[in-house]
Amino acid sequence: MFKHRKFHYGKFPGAAAVLIVTMQLFTAGCVASRTDSLEDAVNEQEKTPAAVSNSIPVSANHADESTSPIFGVSIPDGYRHWELISVSQDSGRNVLKGILGNELSTKAYQDKTIPFPDGSTLVKLTWKRESLSGFENVFVAGPSTMVEVMVKDSKKYAETGGWGFGRFIDGKPASEAQHKSCFECHSRDAKFKNYDFVFTHRAP
C-alpha cells in the first residue's frame, strides 16, 4: 500500500503538468475526472502549489514526501508481518497500541542485548479504541491513528541515542515539530535511558 502511494508521488509532478494542460484545453467535466484520478496524490500532498508552480523551494528535511522530517525515516516494507513485541493502551486518549519488531530487534530482545544493534527497527501501531458491540467492557482496535518507527543507526543518529524516528498519519509524515519531541521524551527518564531509550519490553 505504501509502495502504491510512493508511486503516486513519483508520478505526480508529471501528472500535474498534464493536468494543467488538460485544464486549459478541455471542459470542466473532463478536468473533474482527471482530478479524481489524482485524488490520492493531491489530498496527501502538502506541497501541491510548490509542485505545480516550482517557485517554492522544498525544505531539505522534506527531500522525500514519504520520509520523516529531521530523520528521513520511512515506513518499513513488510512490517505488518513482524513479530509482536507487546501491546499497550492509553485510556486517556482512548487508543490501543501494538509494538512490532524486525528480526534484529526481536533477537536483541531475546538475547537481552542492550543497546540494540544497528538495523534494529521497532514499529508502533496506534488504533482508536472501540468497544465491541454487545460486550460493554471489551475493547478492540478501530481505525488506525498513526504508525511510528524507530530505526537504529548508531552513527547516523548519534545525537538521538542512535535512533531515527518517524511518525506517520494516514501514511504521511507528521510535522518537524512533532519529530523534535521524540527523543526528548524517550530520553527524559534515566530508567529508559538504560534500556537504550526504548520503553517497550517483550511481553511473555
Binding site for ligand HEC (CB under 6 A): 88, 97, 99, 122, 124, 148-150, 165-167, 174, 178-179, 181-182, 185-186, 198-200
Q: Choose between 45 and 126: whose C-beta lies nearer to ligand HEC.
A: 126
How far apart CA 133 and CA 22 sit, in angstroms, is 49
Give the C-alpha separation, 130 to 63, whole Å. 37
Closest separation in Å from C-beta 169 to ligand HEC: 10
CB neighbourhood size of 45 (10 A):
19
Choice between 38 and 108, CB closer to ligand HEC: 108
Shortest distance, position 29 Cβ to ligand HEC, whole Å: 42
Q: Which cell numbers in the block locate residue 56?
A: 517554492
**Phi and psi of 119, rounded to 5°?**
100, -15
In 3D, which of 40, 154, 175 has the Cα closest to residue 104? 154
Shortest separation between residue 179's beta carbon and ligand HEC, angstroms? 5
Nearer to ligand HEC, 9 or 79 (CB): 79
Q: Grid coordinates in use for 118?
A: 544497528
Nearer to ligand HEC, 97 or 129 (CB): 97
**Cα distance between residue 45 and residue 40, in whole Å:** 8
Closest CB to ligand HEC among 102 and 200? 200
Least distance to ligand HEC from the beta carbon of 16, Å? 29
Nearest-approach distance from CB 102 to ligand HEC, in angstroms? 12
Dig out the grid coordinates for 156 from the structure: 547516523
